[in-house]
Structure 1
Amino acid sequence: MPAWNADWRERALPELAARDWDLIVVGGGICGAGILHEAARRGWTCLLLEQRDFAWGTSSRSSKMVHGGLRYIAKGQLALTRDSVRERQRLLREAPGLVEPLSFLMAHYRGEFPGPKLFGGLLALYDAMAGKRNHLYYPLQQLRFLAPGLKEAGLLGGTRFFDAVTDDARLVMRVLGEARGEGGEALNGVRVVELLREQGRVVGLRAEDRETGRRFDFHGRAVALATGAWAERLRSPRGQEHVRPLRGSHLLLPAWRLPVAHAFSFMHAADRRPVFVFPWEGATVVGTTDLDHRQSLDQEARISGEELDYLLAACAQQFPAARITGADVLSTWAGVRPVVGDGESGRRPSEETREHVLWVEPGCVTLAGGKLTTFRLLALEVLRACADFVGRPLVEDDGALFGPCVAPALAQLSPALQRRLSGRYGRELPGLQEVLAEVGCECLPGTQTLWAELAWAAQGELVLHLDDLLLRRTRIGLLLPGGAGAQLPRIRQLCQARLGWDDARWGQEECDYLALWRACYSLPEPVAAPAPIINP
Structure 2
Amino acid sequence: MPHTVWNAAWRDRTLSELEQPEWDLIVVGGGITGAGILREAARRGWRCLLLEQRDFAWGTSSRSSKMVHGGLRYIAKGQLGLTRDSVRERQRLLSEAPGLIEPLPFLFAHYQGSFPGPRVFGGLLSVYDALAGQRLHRFHPPQALSFLAPQLNTQALQGATEFQDAVTDDARLVMRVLSEARAEGGVALNAMQVKELQRTAGGERGERVTGLSVEDRESGRLFTLRSKAVALATGAWADELRNRQGSAEHIRPLRGSHLVVPAWRLPVAHAFSFMHRADKRPVFVFPWEGVTVVGTTDLDHRSPLDSDAAISQSEVDYLLAACAQQFPAAQIGAADITATWAGVRPVVSDEATPSKKPSDETREHALWVEPGCVTLSGGKLTTFRLLALEVLSACAPMVGKTVADHGSRVFAATPMPELPLSPQASQRLHGRYGRDCSALAELITSLGTARVAHTQTLWAELVWAAGHELVLHLDDLLLRRTRLGLLLPEGGLPLMASIRERCQAVLGWDDTRWDAEVAAYQTLWRRCYSVPARHTPA
- Which whole-Å CA distance do the structure 2 matches of 1:196 and 1:527 have between them? 47
- Which whole-Å CA distance do the structure 2 matches of 1:236 and 1:158 have between them? 49
- Which whole-Å CA distance do the structure 1 matches of 2:133 and 2:384 have between them? 21
- Which whole-Å CA distance do the structure 2 matches of 1:372 and 1:306 have between them? 27
What one-letter code is carried by the residue in structure 2 that aligns with 1:356? H
What one-letter code is carried by the residue in structure 2 that aligns with 1:473? R
1:392 aligned to 401, 404, 409, which one?
Answer: 401
Correspondence 1:251 to 2:259: yes
What one-letter code is carried by the residue in structure 1 that aligns with 2:411? F
- Which whole-Å CA distance do the structure 2 matches of 1:155 and 1:240 have between them? 47
Per-residue deviation at 1:527? 6.0
Equivalent residue runs for 1:148-227 within 5 Å: 148-199=150-201, 200-227=207-234
**Conserved? CA contact 1:24–1:224, under 8 Å:** yes
- Which whole-Å CA distance do the structure 1 matches of 2:322 and 2:535 have between them? 19
Q: Match for residue 78 of structure 2?
A: 76
Q: Residues 356-386 of structure 1: CA distance to partner in whole angstroms, max 9, x if unpaired?
A: 0101100000001111000000000000100
What one-letter code is carried by the residue in structure 2 that aligns with 1:171? L
Structure 1 stretch displaced more, 45-54 or 427-436: 427-436
1:7 aligned to 6, 9, 18, which one?
Answer: 9
Q: Residues 224-253 of structure 1: CA distance to partner in whole angstroms, max 9, x if unpaired?
A: 000010001111335321100000000011
2:287 aligned to 270, 275, 279, which one?
Answer: 279
- Which whole-Å CA distance do the structure 1 matches of 2:273 and 2:412 have between them? 34
**Conserved? CA contact 1:14–1:216, under 8 Å:** no
Q: Match for residue 350 of structure 2?
A: 342
Q: Match for residue 465 of structure 1?
A: 473
Q: Residues 8-57 of structure 1: CA distance to partner in whole angstroms, max 9, x if unpaired?
A: 10111120232321100000000000000001011111000000000000
Q: Match for residue 322 of structure 1?
A: 330
Per-residue deviation at 1:355? 0.2
Equivalent residue runs for 1:101-112 within 5 Å: 101-112=103-114
**Conserved? CA contact 1:431–1:456, under 8 Å:** no
What one-letter code is carried by the residue in structure 1 that aligns with 2:47? T
- Which whole-Å CA distance do the structure 1 matches of 2:415 and 2:216 have between them? 34
- Which whole-Å CA distance do the structure 2 matches of 1:380 and 1:24 have between them? 15
- Which whole-Å CA distance do the structure 1 matches of 2:50 and 2:439 have between them? 23
Aligned residues: 529
1:375 aligned to 384, 387, 393, which one?
Answer: 384
Correspondence 1:358 to 2:367: yes
1:512 aligned to 497, 502, 520, which one?
Answer: 520
- Which whole-Å CA distance do the structure 1 matches of 2:295 and 2:243 have between them? 32
- Which whole-Å CA distance do the structure 1 matches of 2:102 and 2:405 have between them? 28
Q: Secondary structure at the match of 2:95?
A: helix
Per-residue deviation at 1:397? 2.2
Q: Match for residue 204 of structure 2?
A: none
Q: Secondary structure at the match of 1:16?
A: coil
- Which whole-Å CA distance do the structure 1 matches of 2:535 and 2:21 have between them? 52
What one-letter code is carried by the residue in structure 1 that aligns with 2:81? A
- Which whole-Å CA distance do the structure 1 matches of 2:105 and 2:265 have between them? 20
Q: Match for residue 296 of structure 1?
A: 304
- Which whole-Å CA distance do the structure 1 matches of 2:499 and 2:396 have between them? 45
Per-residue deviation at 1:390? 0.4
What one-letter code is carried by the residue in structure 2 that aligns with 1:39? A
- Which whole-Å CA distance do the structure 2 matches of 1:110 and 1:414 have between them? 44
Correspondence 1:146 to 2:148: yes
Per-residue deviation at 1:345? 3.7
Unaligned runs of 5+ in 1: 532-536
Q: Secondary structure at the match of 1:161?
A: strand
Correspondence 1:91 to 2:99: no
Correspondence 1:403 to 2:412: yes
Correspondence 1:265 to 2:267: no
Identity across aligned pairs (percent)?
Answer: 68
1:47 aligned to 46, 49, 55, which one?
Answer: 49
Q: Residues 295-342 of structure 1: CA distance to partner in whole angstroms, max 9, x if unpaired?
A: 000110000000000000000110001000111011000000000011
Structure 2 length as normaliser, TM-score?
A: 0.97
Q: Secondary structure at the match of 1:232?
A: helix
**Conserved? CA contact 1:251–1:285, under 8 Å:** yes
What one-letter code is carried by the residue in structure 2 that aligns with 1:429? C
**Conserved? CA contact 1:190–1:208, under 8 Å:** yes
Q: Secondary structure at the match of 1:308?
A: helix
Unaligned runs of 5+ in 2: 202-206
Q: Residues 145-191 of structure 1: CA distance to partner in whole angstroms, max 9, x if unpaired?
A: 21111111110000000000000000000000000011101000000
Q: 1:404 to 1:345 in 2, by over 3 A?
A: closer
Q: 1:345 to 1:16 in 2, by over 3 A?
A: closer
- Which whole-Å CA distance do the structure 2 matches of 1:240 and 1:291 have between them? 22
2:496 aligned to 479, 485, 488, which one?
Answer: 488
**Conserved? CA contact 1:252–1:286, under 8 Å:** yes
Per-residue deviation at 1:433? 1.5
**Conserved? CA contact 1:42–1:395, under 8 Å:** no
- Which whole-Å CA distance do the structure 2 matches of 1:395 and 1:347 have between them? 38
Structure 1 length as normaliser, TM-score?
A: 0.97
Equivalent residue runs for 1:516-527 within 5 Å: 516-526=524-534
What RMSD, in angstroms, separates the aligned Cα atoms of the two structures?
A: 1.1
Per-residue deviation at 1:422? 0.4
- Which whole-Å CA distance do the structure 1 matches of 2:426 and 2:65 have between them? 25
Q: 1:345 to 1:55 in 2, by over 3 A?
A: closer
What one-letter code is carried by the residue in structure 2 that aligns with 1:203? T
What one-letter code is carried by the residue in structure 2 that aligns with 1:435? L
- Which whole-Å CA distance do the structure 2 matches of 1:436 and 1:230 have between them? 39
Q: Secondary structure at the match of 1:123?
A: helix
Q: Secondary structure at the match of 1:511?
A: helix
What one-letter code is carried by the residue in structure 2 that aligns with 1:235? R
**Conserved? CA contact 1:332–1:523, under 8 Å:** yes
Structure 1 stretch displaced more, 194-203 or 156-165: 194-203
- Which whole-Å CA distance do the structure 2 matches of 1:360 and 1:21 have between them? 19
- Which whole-Å CA distance do the structure 2 matches of 1:2 and 1:146 have between them? 47
